[in-house]
Amino acid sequence: MLGAFSLAPPPSLDIVSPHHAKPPQLAPRRTGQTLPPAPTWPDSATASPVARAAVAQEFANLRYEGHCPLGMYIVPAADNLFVWDGVLFVHQGYYTDSILKFRVIFPPNYPDRAPNVQFITDVFHPLIAQQDGEFNVASRFRPWRPKEHHVYDVLHWLKASFKKHALDDIKEIDCLNKEAFRLYHDSTSSFAALATQSSMLSQLASSLFDQDHPSMANKGPVHGIPFKELRTEESSALRQRLGLTDWDE
């Protein structure tokens, strides 16, 4: 049973939420489809000094107010500045209560080219490829303008893409999941059911805690923001430290 959980590292990202005290009883999606080879990851150690400085500055800028979207956590990979791991907590809309792991991957010639975004968590969404989790960044940034666009713009678009106003405006030509686009416009109730299923599956203990979950297949190294399930006494101590009341009060 899925109880309280925390995010680590860093320790400041510890999370507990009553929404996850009882997990949804849904079976994960069937696996077995043929997946593409794992991508070749950029190596920050061999990138140009200009690219390394640009990526480092982008991460430093996330500390400014309004740069990192609310409900989103980002950490760079321990051994590669050009790979950032993130988690998005969705609080409203069709995907309410989703816990979505994703990855931002910078090209070696950044900022001349846009970063790529790949979802680690399986999610049924028009802009996300079901085969490998690729998110279509170009749907919002066409063309990518190095002197105008920044990573925080990409992160805000990523979050906004789960809201109704953004879903309404998505063009079919930009969709990596044509079926999701078709259902959204032709059978909204079916789309809503699949979005809800994505949300519920993302909350399962296997999705949150298993580093070898099937959804990780061919998606690179272990995600840099692991979740840790808390025992009852750990949860109580953490909630007390944060000044939170018990859930049954």
**pLDDT for position 40:** 61
pTM summary value: 0.78
The predicted-structure confidence for 73-107, as pLDDT tens digits, reads as follows 999 998 899 999 999 999 999 999 999 999 999 99
**pLDDT for position 221:** 66
Mean pLDDT, all residues of the chain? 82
CA 159 – CA 166 distance, rounded (Å): 10
CA atoms within 13 A on the CB side of 94: 26
Stronger pLDDT, 235 or 49, i.e. the higher one: 49
The predicted-structure confidence for 113-164, as pLDDT tens digits, reads as follows 999 999 999 999 999 999 999 999 999 999 999 999 999 999 999 999 999 9
Nearest C-alpha neighbor of 81 from the set 117, 51, 55, 103: 55
Please, which pLDDT band fits residue 235 given cuts at 50, 70 and 90? confident
CA 20 – CA 2 distance, rounded (Å): 7
In our burial notation (b when 16+ CB lie closer than 10 A, e otherwise), range 148-184 reads ebbbbbbbbbbbebbeeebbeebeeeebbbeebbebb
Angle ∠(228,6,118) on CA atoms, nearest 5? 80
Q: Collapsing DSSP states into helix, strand and coil, what is residue 7?
A: strand
Angstrom distances, CA of residue 26 to CA of 3, 148, 200: 16, 43, 7
CA 170 – CA 165 distance, rounded (Å): 9
Q: Tell me the two tokens of residue 81.
A: 């500045």
Please, which pLDDT band fits residue 35 given cuts at 50, 70 and 90? very low
Stronger pLDDT, 43 or 48, i.e. the higher one: 48
The predicted-structure confidence for 194-211, as pLDDT tens digits, reads as follows 999 999 999 998 888 876
With a cut of 80, say whether residue 11 has pLDDT above it: no
Angstrom distances, CA of residue 198 to CA of 6, 79, 99, 126, 194: 21, 31, 9, 13, 6
Angstrom distances, CA of residue 212 to CA of 24, 99, 208, 233: 20, 17, 11, 27
* Overall average pLDDT of the 166-179 stretch: 98
Instruction: Delineate the domains of the chain, giving CATH numbers in brackets.
Output: 39-227 (3.10.110.10)
Q: Where are the beta strands (DSSP E) in 132-235?
A: 134-135, 227-229
CA 74 – CA 102 distance, rounded (Å): 9
